[in-house]
Amino acid sequence: MKIGIVGCAGRMGRMLIQEVLATPGAELAGGVEPSGPAVGQDLGTLVGAKAVRIAVGSDIKALFAASDAVIDFTLPSATKMHAELAASMGKALVIGTTGLTDEVRAVIATASKKSVIVQAPNMSVGVNVLLALTEKLAAALGPDYDIDILEMHHRHKVDAPSGTALGLGEAAAKGRKVALKDVAKHTRDGQVGARPVGEIGFATLRGGDVVGDHTVIFAANGERIEITHKASSREIFAKGAVRAALWAAGKKPGLYSMRDVLGLG
């Protein structure tokens, strides 16, 4: 399967190139950057590997034309354009971009009517198991258990809470059969009063070079359950994204998640 990488010179982009090159059944179709010193470099030497005789380009349409699937870990504004391109050209798109707005999500949903799109707040296999467990625990434990989601990332991360933390909140809300927007609490400061029943809280930490830590806390009178995932390398996200791209082959147009890719329902 021919796989293209947008934002190929970034940290995730380089990891994705390495993963495609190392994965049987995957072929590197190309990579693009909008501008910068990486444009024109060989994709292999860009990541410290042997030359692959494919240069970093800047023509996004040419990349989609050469690819069966494109992997996107960029910015919401770029992801919107990529979804529209995937739909118009009939290409699969794997989206790991976080901080998506409602507008971008709507564009992705529309594009999925014509293209296979896999979109997830986190491409890690372990995190998606955590998402499934969070939903099941929220359904089983009921409103006597307060739910809080704690996440920590490196100092350079620009969105908060993380897309994964919000995904965990959605999973918990789904387990309780409520809408997250109706029960989410993103900040607590000052005299906030007693905690309402059913509230799902978020706490965000930023510092150092932390790849990504997420903990879901279920707290009740007399006991507390905590489930945690800690990422020590971005390689897990790249592995999941390439796995999703390969899985997309032959699928009908639609909007899928990593839980679909992993068979978690």
Catalytic residue list contains 157 = yes
Catalytic residue list contains 82 = no
Of 114, 157, 174, 251, which residue is the catalytic one? 157
Of 80, 82, 153, 214, which residue is the catalytic one? 153
Exposed e or buried b per residue across 63-89, where buried means at least 16 C-beta atoms within 10 angstroms of its C-beta: bbebbbbbbbbbbbebbbebbebbbee
Assign 3-class secondary structure to the chain.
Answer: CEEEEECCCCHHHHHHHHHHHHCCCCEEEEEECCCCCCCCCEHHHHCCCCCCCCECECCHHHHHHHCCEEEECCCHHHHHHHHHHHHHHCCEEEECCCCCCHHHHHHHHHHCCCCEEEECCCCCHHHHHHHHHHHHHHHHHCCCCEEEEEEEECCCCCCCCCHHHHHHHHHHHHHHCCCHHHHEECCCCCCCCCCCCCCEEEEEEECCCCCEEEEEEEEECCEEEEEEEEECCCHHHHHHHHHHHHHCCCCCCEEECHHHHCCCC
> Which residues carry out catalysis?
153, 157
